[in-house]
Structure 1
Amino acid sequence: MSNRLTATALQCLDIGPIDLVVEGGQCLAVVGPSGSGKSLILRMIADLIPHQGECSLDGVLANAMPSPQWRKHVRYVSSEPGWWATTVAEHFADLATLVRCTTSLGLPTDLGSAAPERLSTGERQRVALLRAIEQRPQVLLLDEPTSALDTAGTLLVEALVRDLMASGMAIILVSHNPEQVARLASATLSLGQRP
Structure 2
Amino acid sequence: MRDAVTNIVELDALRQDAGDPADARALGLRNVSLAVGGKTLIEDMSLALSVDGITMIMGPNGAGKSMLLKLAHGLIAPDKGSVTWGGEPLNDAGRRAQAMVFQKPVLLRRSVAANVDFALKARGIRDAARRNDLLDHVGLLGHARQPARLLSGGEQQRLALARALALKPRVMLLDEPTASLDPASVLKIESIVAEAHAAGTRIIFVTHDPGQAGRLADDIVFVHRGRVHEHGPADMFLSRPDTAQARDFLQGRIVV
TM-score normalized with structure 1 length: 0.85
Runs of 4+ off more than 4 Å: none
- The aligned residue for residue 33 of structure 2 is 11
- How far off is 1:27 after superposition? 1.3
- Pick from 78, 92, 103 the counterpart of residue 79 of structure 1: 103
- Pick from 115, 119, 129 the counterpart of residue 96 of structure 1: 129
Instruction: Work out whether residues 30 and 45 of structure 2, in 8 Å CA contact, stay in contact via their aligned partners in 1.
Output: yes
Distance of 2:165 and 2:208 partners within structure 1? 23
> Deviations along 1:37-94, whole A, 9 cap, x unmatched?
11111011111123233222222211xx33xx43221221101121234222222224
Residue 146 of structure 2 is aligned to residue 119 of structure 1: no
TM-score normalized with structure 2 length: 0.67
Instruction: Work out whether residues 197 and 203 of structure 2, in 8 Å CA contact, stay in contact via their aligned partners in 1.
Output: yes
Residue 86 of structure 2 is aligned to residue 58 of structure 1: yes
Instruction: Work out whether residues 25 and 167 of structure 1, in 8 Å CA contact, stay in contact via their aligned partners in 2.
Output: no
Q: How many residues align?
A: 190
- Per the alignment, do residues 34 and 98 of structure 1 end up closer, same or farther by CA in structure 2, a change over 3 Å counting? farther
Higher helix share: 2
Alignment of 1:1-195 (within 5 A): 1-2=21-22, 3-13=25-35, 14=40, 15-51=42-78, 52-62=80-90, 65-66=91-92, 69-92=93-116, 93=120, 94-105=127-138, 107-193=139-225
SS in 2 for 1:191: strand
Percent identical residues: 29
RCO (CA 8 Å, sep 6+): is it higher in 1 or 2?
A: 1
Provide structure 1 residue ranges, at least 5 long, that are not aligned to the other structure.
none
- How far off is 1:185 after superposition? 1.3
SS in 1 for 2:224: coil
Deviates more, 1:6-15 or 1:168-177: 6-15
